[in-house]
Amino acid sequence: MGRDAQDQAVVTRTRLRAPELRGRGWLNTGGRELSLADLRGRVVVLDFWTFCCVNCLHVLDELRPLEERYADSLVLVGVHSPKFEHEADPDALAAAVERYAVHHPVLDDPDLVTWQAYTARAWPTLVVVDPEGYIVASMSGEGHAHGLSVLVEELVEEHRAKGTLREGDSPYTPPPAPSTALRFPGKAVALDDGSFLVSDTTHHDVVHLEADLQTERRRFADHEGDGPGRLDEPQGLLLLPADVVQRVGYDVVVADSVNHQVKGLRLEDGAWTVLAGTGRQLRERSGSGPALRQDLSTPWDVAWFIDRVVVAMAGTHQLWALHLAADPAENTVAVLAGTTAEGIRDGVADEAWFAQPSGLAASADGTRLWVADSETSALRSLDLTDDGFTVTTHVGTGLFDFGHRDGAADQALLQHPLGVTVLPDGSVAVSDTYNGAVRRFDPVSGEVTTLATGLREPSDAVVERTEDGETRLVVVESAAHELVRIPLPDKATRVDGLAHQTQRPRTELAPGAVRLEVTFTPPTGQKLDQRWGDPTRLMVSATPEALLREGAGSAQGLTRELVLDPSVVDGVLHVSVQAASCDGDPVTGEVPEHAACHLYQQDWGIPVVLVDGAPDALTLDLRGTS
């Protein structure tokens, strides 16, 4: 490229007009279609998300204060670009918008038209458009709230001075408020008297239901103040063994997902105790030590295993172990399995990869913990062996493969399962959430079958024995807002369904040498802190591993020279990045000794195909500005 072409490329990037917003329709606008022309004069932040993605849910929470602070000058638009087939269902999307309290316009982009127009490569991706309709920044992942606030403030001041800022009411129109006894329940446990506890997730309660699954005995939560009983989207529930209850003084362990805490509930009087978590989301890569001083990240389920509470830490793609002491101040936590890399990798537990583990169940003999690994549409297990803990995948192949297909486990497919339940015969029932089904895996025969279909986002199930010896399942039918009973059939059916792949287009790259670069521009007032060396780290791997001849591993820096094997043809590049920037002195730009620092991080799983003549460079934006 000549000098003139390089200059032109810079100009183009600097003044890039935002593409039009195109999709199937809009939610939260009262039926009105929106265009960028309608939003001209406002700062616009496009949030490319998909409702299966826990990182996207984190970003929704991060953006809420920004929406409130700049309500007159900022319009946040969610662009829903689905990963899974179920997420392209308009009714499922409407339910998710309610479930996750999305209070801004949402563009339904099922064919990824707008996703591709903005060259998004990851969920979540944020794009900032100025009041004149030009793209000024693009960033991937979490942790951008502070930088976004600084940028929005700058744009508001700049365009107010230019006379190009138009302040006014948001185009958001709330839908009618629904009313059901339960709202998107998450998990359930059975009590000895035949009643049930269920996490009423969107109502932020734990509910005690009678055996009829409808009559409420009591609700447990404190909606006033900020005490331990104030819940925010509770999910997993665990009824502790009787001897443990006697020792610790509470009966139930609750995964309080959005509060990033694990809590104890005493059923007798409804008393709550925080067992782990500070209430802040974990931003570092791992943690261990005193449980009440350790940040957590979206704990989704809990199970009793090896005399510990195992926590499915969905936000960091790990399993953690929580040791319960008689005094909660002496509780401890430690990472049990997972590196925080997202994907499927089996073997030694501390080297394994998970992808948003969301359901847990221990085997009857206590040697195996079954895991519903939702983002890989996989059934996995953590096994206690003589050599320590190992991770095994039983069903599922990777981040982008899913479907509803029964048969041999190595050919069977699930779609974003959230729950797993051990059956009396040692087989496993999987709440196959996005297929609307309950599936069964037999570890002896290695076969997958289907127990029930036609359910609305089943997220958990509990085994129930009737007085006449019949075994049935009580299923949490989350999107139907109820618990339902399903008899276990004498003979399960076999579905020979279609296999699917995420329709996200593959990135074409040249075989051989490829330069990987992650762009990162610290927000105004921050700079990379070089006082103790390079504050960035890049980790690269591939599926299959043979795709990457050279360049794998973890090292400092934001660039890497890769060599891709032309004989592999296609696969997935896994790229993880961290960058730490600190508040600098406004005059000198130097970082003071006790400056506040901010960690930016993102994991990409990029489907690639090797094509002769394709680009030999891959650029990813952690935080890029124009």
> Which region holds residue 369: left if phi is over 0, alpha if psi is between -120 and 50, else beta?
beta
Contact status, residue 157 vs residue 90, Cβ threshold 8 Å:
no
Identify the pLDDT of residue 1: 34
Q: What is the pTM of this model?
A: 0.91
Q: What pLDDT band is residue 546 in, cutting at 50, 70 and 90?
A: very high
Identify the pLDDT of residue 466: 81
Beta-sheet strands, E only, within 347-387 = 347-348, 357-362, 368-373, 378-385
Closest CA to 77 of 173, 174, 176, 172: 172
Burial class (CB within 10 angstroms; exposed 0-12, middle 13-18, buried 19+) of 64: middle
Q: How far apart are CA 365 and CA 368, in angstroms?
A: 8
CATH 3.20.20.70 assigned to 1-177? no
Q: How far apart are CA 118 and CA 36, in angstroms?
A: 14
Q: Which CATH class is domain 178-337?
A: mainly beta
The 8-class DSSP code of residue 593 comes to: T
Tens of pLDDT, residues 206-238: 999 999 999 999 999 999 888 999 999 999 999
Among 417-421, 538-542, 576-580, the range of highest mean pLDDT: 417-421
Q: Six-digit token pair at 364?
A: 């009857």
Contact status, residue 310 vs residue 360, Cβ threshold 8 Å:
yes
Tens of pLDDT, residues 361-386: 999 999 999 999 999 999 999 999 98
Three-state DSSP at 196 gives: strand
Q: How far apart are CA 354 and CA 179, in angstroms?
A: 36
- Give the residue-averaged pLDDT of 154-170: 94
Three-state DSSP at 158 gives: helix
Q: What pLDDT band is residue 585 in, cutting at 50, 70 and 90?
A: low
Three-state DSSP at 594 gives: coil
Q: What is the b/e burial string over 424-462, where b = at least 16 CB atoms within 10 angstroms of the residue's CB?
A: eeebbbbbbbbbbbbbbbbbeeebbbbbbeebbbbbbbb
Q: What pLDDT band is residue 586 in, cutting at 50, 70 and 90?
A: low
